[in-house]
Amino acid sequence: MKYDIIIIGGAFAGLTAAIYSARQGMKTLVVTKDIGGQGLLTTDIQNYPGFESISGFDLASKFQGQAQLYGCEFIYDEIRSVNDNEGSFLLQGISEQYESDALVLAFGKTPRDLGSKGEEKYKGRGVSYCSICDGPLYRKKVVLVAGAGDHALQAALYLGTVASTVYVTQKGNRISGSEDMIQQTKSLQNVEFLYESEVEEILGDRTVNSVLLKKKDGSENKLPVNAVFVEMGYIAKTDMLRGFVDMNKDNEVVIDMSGKTSHEGVFAAGDVTNIPYKQAVISAGQGSVAALSAINYVHKKRGKGAVRSDWKFVDLNKKPKA
Ligand SMILES: Cc1cc2nc3c(=O)[nH]c(=O)nc-3n(C[C@H](O)[C@H](O)[C@H](O)COP(=O)(O)OP(=O)(O)OC[C@H]3O[C@@H](n4cnc5c(N)ncnc54)[C@H](O)[C@@H]3O)c2cc1C
């Protein structure tokens, strides 16, 4: 089935684009790996206007519900490639292929991989990229945080309240991160720093049971752990778009003020783009801009006039609920 607009990504940028697109009567599909994206990693967003405090999950669920009111469809899949074919866009997911007239890229940022042997094999089986999401699974267990700076310290601080022992690897001979975070982490009795150490390999059977640590002097030792939390920060995983849209040196998709990319018919919004500030409210705002531009692109193709804003009243009783 061909859609008017397909949005890749189901977090603040993608879900806002979905609301705008579906409200304007576009046949809209969101293809996403999850609902909420990075927002799922925080239980307390305090700077989203209208909410003094709300979890990322609750906020994103409200966005999704609003998009569904206007008939937006959702499919859980991971897009692996994007191509165009005579004015249509073809998206290859893991399970299916999708087709649309216009495309909104809103797939944000993804945790950076550690790059150690065994990481791929044990993803989801002891290797985690989200301490807040998966930490509770390791209550009173032994875990290791492999990462850098405040990302790693923040994870260690949280895991210290859950796990029995938290090891934190450090490449150098001192702790990297902000002074405040270092002091807080050091005050926890069950957090131990492993200096001049890196994870050479993640080992296990069905799930992780140990790591092979390599010291700076070349020596190796095996450390029993139940889980490895990778906390290396976030990157724009845009390899599939190489040569398709312009990107900056950080592999972020370059957009103009209207959310247009260098490829006609392709728009982008949120953390995946070269906007300087990465925040939920900014992603949402950009999602609306990208959607309006995508709507106008489709309208132009069909000889229809441009939409300047989205003030029109939509009678929800007459809209199909998804
Ligand atoms: C721990 C933490 C706390 C934060 N706290 C705050 C805060 O308090 N206030 C604030 O404003 N911001 C906060 N942020 C930042 C905020 O979460 C992000 O700026 C925001 O989530 C970006 O939204 P986005 O829609 O651009 O992308 P993302 O949130 O990165 O979402 C990307 C979406 O795309 C999907 N996706 C990715 N790749 C694919 C693919 N190939 N195929 C299909 N789907 C794909 C993902 O599953 C996800 O749904 C925080 C971030 C973190 C990590």
Answer for the pair 45, 51: CB distance below 8 angstroms, yes or no. yes
- Same domain? 221 vs 132: yes
Q: How do 97-105 and 88-93 pair as beta strands?
A: antiparallel
Residues 104 and 136 in one domain: no
- Checking if the pLDDT of 317 tops 80, the result is no
Query: Lowest-confidence range among 100-114, 204-218, 305-319?
Result: 305-319
Contact in structure between 33 and 76 (CB atoms under 8 Å): yes
d(CA 149, CA 155): 10
Owning domain of residue 188: 127-231
pTM of the entire predicted model: 0.84
Cα(272) to ligand 1 centroid in Å equals 9
> Domain ends where: 186, 215, 231?
231
The DSSP code sequence of 213-245 is EEETTS-EEEEE-SEEEEE--EE---GGGTTTS
Query: What is the pLDDT averaged over residues 21-38?
Result: 96
The tokens of 256 are what?
A: 């103009």
> Is residue 122 situated within a structural domain?
no
Q: Is 44 assigned a catalytic role?
A: no
Average pLDDT over the chain, rounded to whole?
A: 94
**1-5, 43-47, 105-109, 313-317, range with the lowest pLDDT:** 313-317
Helix and strand totals (H; E) in the chain: 6, 17
Taking 70 as the threshold, does the pLDDT of residue 319 lie above it?
no
pLDDT grade for 320, boundaries at 50, 70 and 90: low
Same domain? For 11 and 73 the reply is yes
* Residue 253 in this model has a pLDDT that exceeds 80: yes
pLDDT recorded at residue 321: 54
Specify the residue for token string 């070349």: 218
The total domain count for the chain is 2
Residues 180-201 pLDDT 10s: 999 999 999 999 999 999 999 9
Could you give the CA distance from residue 240 to residue 67 in angstroms, rounded to a whole number?
27
Q: Which of 16, 42, 237 to mutate to test the pocket of ligand 1 (most atoms within 8 A of CB)?
A: 42
The strand pairing partners of 16, in sequence order, are none
Query: Could you tell me if 220 and 267 lie in one domain?
Result: no
Here the CATH number for the domain that contains residue 300 is 3.50.50.60
Quick check: is 53 in a domain?
yes
Between the CA of 108 and the centroid of ligand 1 the distance, in Å, is 5
> Among 173, 199, 231, where does a domain finish?
231
pLDDT greater than 90 at residue 91:
yes
Q: Tell me whether residue 55 is in a domain.
A: yes
**Mean pLDDT of all residues in 199-219:** 96
Contact 202, 116 (CB under 8 A): yes
> Of the residues 231, 250, 271, which one is the last residue of a structural domain?
231
DSSP 11-73: SHHHHHHHHHHHHTT--EEEEES-SSGGGGG-S-B--STT-SSB-HHHHHHHHHHHHHHTT-E
Domain match, 31 and 76 both? yes
Using CA positions, which residue lies closest to atom 48 of ligand 1?
Answer: 37
Please indicate, yes or no, whether residues 207 and 251 belong to a single structural domain of this protein.
Answer: no
Residue 252 forms part of a structural domain: yes
Looking at the fold, whether 176 and 79 belong to one and the same domain comes out as no
6 lines ligand 1 (CB under 6 A): no
Provide the pLDDT for residue 173.
Answer: 92
Ligand 1 and 12: CB distance under 6 A: yes
Tabulate helix, strand, coil % of the chain (nearest 5): 30, 30, 45
Q: Taking a C-beta distance cutoff of 8 angstroms, is the pair 152, 178 a contact?
A: no
